[in-house]
Structure 1
Amino acid sequence: MNMAITIYTKPGCFGCRKTVQKLAAAGIPFTEVDLTQVPAALEYVTEELGYSQAPVVVVDDQFHWSGLNPANIERAIAYVSQEVSG
């Protein structure tokens, strides 16, 4: 199964930068989407997911969150590592 984490970010967002750094340091593949550049992405995270704070991290349909959340970052790293090796 191909895990594709998407991180929706905004320029100058401390939590966004830290989230990206943590996943990159763990070697977890992800796609970063700038919410100020992609109106459809902004609509998705606000209308579909109901979030108003960046970053918004989407691991899959059931596992997503907004804001800097170290516990969820660690969960995502473990989850993706398990999927990749399993």
Structure 2
Amino acid sequence: MVITVYSKPDCMQCKRTYRAFEARGRAYDVVDVTESDAALEYVKELGYLTAPVIVVSEHDHWGGFRPDQIDRVAAGGAGDDETVGA
């Protein structure tokens, strides 16, 4: 499972999300939406207007710092058949 955090510079919720994933031993990729028009358009298409946006799969994503969702993903509770977020 690839976890992608769509982020922006100086975003406190983004930093808290990174730390939470790291504390739970989960790897993640970071995409800065201020450096990629395609990434910004993608998160807007998902329905988000703020950072961070965390995407685990096509149907598993959410916005903001969400320890409950991070715990769920860290415990292995993520999949394409789950619809979470937006």
Same fold (TM over 0.5): yes
Match of 2:19 in 1: 21
Q: CA deviation at 1:24?
A: 1.4
Identity of aligned residues (%): 47
Q: CA deviation at 1:16?
A: 0.3
Question: How far apart, in 1, do the equivalents of 2:12 and 2:35 lie?
Answer: 18
* 1:20-61 CA distance string (max 9 Å, x none): 1111121111100111011100000002x1111100000111
Q: Secondary structure at the match of 1:33?
A: strand
Task: Pick one of 63, 68, 84 that aligns with 2:65.
Answer: 68
Structure 1 residues 71-80 or 32-41, which shifts more? 71-80
What are structure 2's unaligned runs of at least 5 residues? 78-86
Match of 1:84 in 2: none
Match of 2:53 in 1: 56
Question: How far apart, in 2, do the equivalents of 1:39 and 1:63 lie?
Answer: 22
Question: How far apart, in 2, do the equivalents of 1:5 and 1:36 lie?
Answer: 19
How many residue pairs end up in the alignment? 78
Kindly report the root-mean-square deviation, in angstroms, between the aligned alpha carbons of the 2 structures.
1.5
Structure 1 runs, 4 residues or longer, greater than 2 Å off = none
Question: How far apart, in 2, do the equivalents of 1:53 and 1:79 lie?
Answer: 26
